[in-house]
Amino acid sequence: MTADGGTNGFLFDRVVVDDVSRHFGRRRAVSRVTFHASRGQILGLLGPNGAGKSTLLALLATLLRPTSGTIRFGTRDASTADDALRSHIGVLGHDLFLYPELTARENLAFFGALYGARDANAAARQALDRAGLADRGDDVVSSFSRGMRQRVALERALIHQPRLLLLDEPFTGLDDASTAVLLARLRGLREEGAIVILATHDLDLADGLLDEAIFLRDGRMIHTAARPEALRSTYRAVMTGRPAPSGVEGR
Amino acid sequence: MMRLAWLILRKDLTVEVRSGEIAYTTLFFAVTCVLVFAFALVREGRAPEDGAAGILWIAVVFAGNLALGRAFERERQAETLRALLMAPAPRTAVYLGKLLGVIALLVGAEIVLVPLIALLFQARLLAHLWWMIAILAAGTTGFAAVGTLFAAMLVRARSRDVLLPVLLYPITVPVIIAGVRGTAALLQPELEVGVVRFWLALLITFDVVFVTLSLWTFESVMTD
């Protein structure tokens, strides 16, 4: 990978979602959503339950195809998603994608090998160090607290050093210490030039973290704000249709 | 692709060794099934002719249904199936890894079932061991090939436990019939190699067709 985000023959410097809709039968989970995120940006998808946040993440993860519209990853179109493209996307879902019967080390080594790490065991060792769980690496994941599992899951999502990290409710069930570690890790990823897109309800935790917030309701994008401050009051204003607080740049 | 399939197989076997969940369940069910038939059909040490062949395959197929359901239920519970599908790996490798895992579990059950049925039904299942292994291997592969595809397709269906056998059994009937007839041929006092070869060739043909079709369709059925 090059410093400008170039990877394996294509430039992965931004994600562009252009007029994307996704229907499940007659239900419109996502309707005509447009936004983009560039390298070194953290973008938040905010909205109530059923707003379409998880569906959007699934579309970005190439697990779903848009009913209409296009998603582009740098110079690549999502409709041509292949192993090369998927190798640059990391996902931390609401479910943690970990095998509870395996140890943290085994989980990380398995996913490292699956994502093509040359030395999966070394990658797992480094990931455990980053998660601060080197001394618990040989314990099965089912014996971990939610916060510890979340830290392992985040390292699992990052083990292949993705250009795009997708996070669905990453703060759920975390104590203050684990939350602080996660926030620091996300800021670190931004500095390293990754694109981070997260869907969350935890507005207080996301406050000051996001470079751009996309407000969704009923699958539609109803507002965007660059570098939003006072996220909770902005959210309330946007969702109730009142004017956003002063200082919030909306579109 | 084989490296990734092996990776998934090794992971499945490690999980199974730790939990023992599928192995114990399928084995318990299969052995219970055989015991019930033995009590019902064996009179004064004499069992119906060829009965052992049918009972062996009934036990294998029912146990296989349980193993298939659980193998994918495990991936669904922690949503790890999504992680496998998002990995930069051919989805056919995921299919092959899961298929080999199911076959390994069924082979484990068959290692217990064959001697047990031979003992309880006084059947000569071990008399032609290599033919028996070939028939079982070919039949198990054909059954598991279709079953793995259907179990993966149904993993998000609400009624997956009911739908899996409803879809699986009619399609695998040819495999089950060929397995039963091939095994029954081995139980005859005089082994007719030509008959055994015929049923084995039929099973191998089904294997080739089912595995090829499953590999071909797995990618598309697991997308969206």
Q: Give ipTM to 2 decimals.
A: 0.83
Tens digits of residue pLDDT in A102-113: 999 999 999 999
Separation of alpha carbons A47 and A27, rounded Å: 18
Query: When comparing pLDDT for A52 and A244, which is higher?
Result: A52
For residue A242, the model assigns a pLDDT of 67
For residue B91, the model assigns a pLDDT of 85
For residue A96, the model assigns a pLDDT of 85
Separation of alpha carbons B94 and B11, rounded Å: 12
For residue A95, the model assigns a pLDDT of 82
Nearest to B86 among A86, A102, A106 (CB): A86
Set of chain B residues whose Cβ sits within 8 Å of the Cβ of A106: 11, 14
Domain limits for position B97: 2-221
Chain B residues whose C-beta is within 8 A of a chain A C-beta are 4, 7, 11, 14-15, 18-19, 78-80, 82-90, 223-224
Query: When comparing pLDDT for A226 and A4, which is higher?
Result: A226
Other C-beta atoms lying within 10 Å of the C-beta of residue A6? 15
For residue B224, the model assigns a pLDDT of 59
Tens digits of residue pLDDT in B195-212: 999 999 999 999 999 999
- Give the CATH architecture of domain A13-86+202-251: 3-Layer(aba) Sandwich (3.40)
Q: Which residues fall within 8 angstroms of residue A101, CB to CB, at 6 or more apart?
A: A140, A141, A142, B14, B15, B18, B19
Contact residues, A window 77-96, toward B, CB-based 8 Å cutoff: 83-87, 89, 91, 93, 95-96
Q: What is the mean pLDDT of chain B?
A: 89
Number of domains in chain B: 1
User: Can you give the pTM of this predicted structure?
Assistant: 0.83
Q: pLDDT band at A10, cuts 50/70/90?
A: low
Pairwise CB contact (< 8 Å): B79 & A89: no
For residue A180, the model assigns a pLDDT of 87
Q: Which residues fall within 8 angstroms of residue A122, CB to CB, at 6 or more apart?
A: none
**Torsion-angle region of residue A124: left (phi > 0), alpha (psi -120 to 50) or beta?**
alpha
Radius of gyration of the CA atoms of chain B, in A:
18
Contact residues, A window 118-147, toward B, CB-based 8 Å cutoff: 140
Q: What percent of chain B has pLDDT over 90?
A: 54
Set of chain B residues whose Cβ sits within 8 Å of the Cβ of A67: none
Is residue A98 a contact partner of residue A59, using CB atoms and an 8 Å limit? no
In this structure, of A133-147, B48-62, B153-167, the range with the lowest mean pLDDT score is B153-167
For residue A2, the model assigns a pLDDT of 46
Set of chain B residues whose Cβ sits within 8 Å of the Cβ of A102: 11, 14-15, 18
Indicate whether B60 pLDDT > 90: yes
3-state secondary structure of A50: coil
Is residue A33 a contact partner of residue A215, using CB atoms and an 8 Å limit? no
Question: Which of B48, B75, B62, B149 lies closest to B106, judged by CA?
Answer: B62
Other C-beta atoms lying within 10 Å of the C-beta of residue A47? 26
Q: pLDDT band at A247, cuts 50/70/90?
A: very low
Is residue A59 a contact partner of residue A70, using CB atoms and an 8 Å limit? no
Pairwise CB contact (< 8 Å): B78 & A116: no
Indicate whether A16 pLDDT > 60: yes
